[in-house]
Amino acid sequence: MDKLFQNKWTIRVISLVLAITMYLFVNIETNSEQNKSRVDQNGTTETEVLEDVELDLRIDADNYVVSGVPEDVTVTLEGRRSTLAPIVRLRNFTVFVDLEEYGEGEHTVELEYEGLPDNVSAYIEPKKINIEIEERATREFNVDMDIVKQDQLPVGYELGEPEMTPETVTVIGSEASLDQIAMVKVFIDVTDLKESITNRELPIAVYDAQGNDLNVRVEPETVNVSVPVERPSKKVSLNVATTGELPDDLEIEDMDAESEIEIFGKKELLNEIEEISTKEVDLATIEESGAVEVELDFPEGITADEDKVEVELEMEATKTFKKLPIEIKGQDESDVTFVKPKEAEVDISVTGSDDIVQDVKKQDVKASVELSGLSEGEHDVDIKLEGPDDLILKPETEKATVEIQ
């Protein structure tokens, strides 16, 4: 055997075999890693980034409070797609910081996780946090209610006396943080509010003197707020205002509108108002009877359910018929001579509702004198008129002077 290894050709052959063996081993390992890389790229291994993952704080809360702990963190998960999918959907794992073994003071601690399978890796951002643990302190504070945007309440509405339950809360934090508290408040926005608020649950905010949020715990975290909304009202008389002049042949016979109107506004404003007027109706634009819609002219801070009213106008028109013949009754026309008017004609005006007057024609109106039983000579007699009902007929002259022969 010793002679075999002393042979230089034997040693060369053995060295060659070893070299070939090493080459093959390295080549196989390289191919294996390349194949594994290709499998990863084909999608069997993936990463998922989950933001806003809630951070669980583990500490002796009866005795200590901690500052510097973020509410949530970002977690990157790595694993097979089939495994990651339900975890991403359900988020059935926990990220936590365990402070139960730490005492008062400043500490740098590492965030941990649990509830993930072994074939899933998790990377938490941030990985470590700087926190401060302080002795727990409690103090009671009154809660102030801040009603914002009261100037944007609808016109005519006002707020009653608000109520809040509870009116005091317990604030939990360090002594230093409690000393900074300047305001404990709830805010309620009443923009466009028309209905009362009943037992609305509102979160409580805690601020320092500069208006910065303080990281303290409040018990309870919310209060119930009720705010009555009132709509004071009053009935006042309505005045229809006019401007301009009607055409010469028209007069207003009647102008009918609601005699009263209910208005809404703050009580102190309502106490000063006894009448509401419409905006002016321009009479120069009126041509006939009918209804017109007129806007109401509200003082500032006053409103009503409607901003317009309907005004019914009944117009009286006058039409004049010229030189209507005067009919002679009770005597032969050949025996009668008109002294006044000489032409035995008279002008007659017809007055009444415009819708009737406009349809009246000349032949619808008649004038006459009754001369029955009169002797010879000169007589003053009444001119009698006939025409449609509901009209007022008026002659230019009410009497005629006739001579009977």
Residues 127 and 2 in one domain: yes
The predicted-structure confidence for 84-138, as pLDDT tens digits, reads as follows 999 999 999 999 999 988 888 999 999 999 999 999 999 999 999 999 888 889 9
Least confident of 26-35, 69-78, 311-320: 26-35
Read off the amino acid at residue 21: T
Other Cβ atoms less than 10 A from the Cβ of 77: the count is 20
* Same domain membership, residue 119 and residue 1: yes
Tell me the C-alpha distance between 16 and 375, whole Å.
175
Give the pLDDT confidence of 287-302 residue by residue, as tens digits. Answer: 788 888 888 999 988 9
Same domain, 26 and 130: yes
From 214, 230, 246, the end of a domain falls on 230
113 and 61 in one domain?
yes
Tell me which DSSP letter residue 150 carries. G
Answer with the one of 256, 286, 315 that is the final residue of a domain.
Answer: 315
Domain range for residue 5? 1-135
Segment 199-246, tens digit of pLDDT: 999 999 999 999 999 888 899 999 999 999 998 998 999 988 888 888
1/130 same-domain check = yes
Q: Are residues 81 and 34 in the same domain?
A: yes
Residues 5 and 80 in one domain: yes
Verify that 306 and 322 share a domain, yes or no.
no
52 with 172, same domain: the answer is no
**295 lies in the same domain as 308:** yes
Q: End of a domain among 167, 198, 230?
A: 230
Whichever domain contains 16, its CATH number is 2.170.120.30
pTM for this entry: 0.52
Tokens 């977690």 -> residue: 75
The structural domain count of the chain equals 4
- Average predicted confidence (pLDDT) for the chain: 86
Calpha distance 150→268 (Å, rounded):
17
CATH code for the domain of 297: 2.170.120.40
Ranges 37-41, 128-132, 333-337, most confident: 128-132
Distance between CA atoms of residues 112 and 30, nearest Å: 36
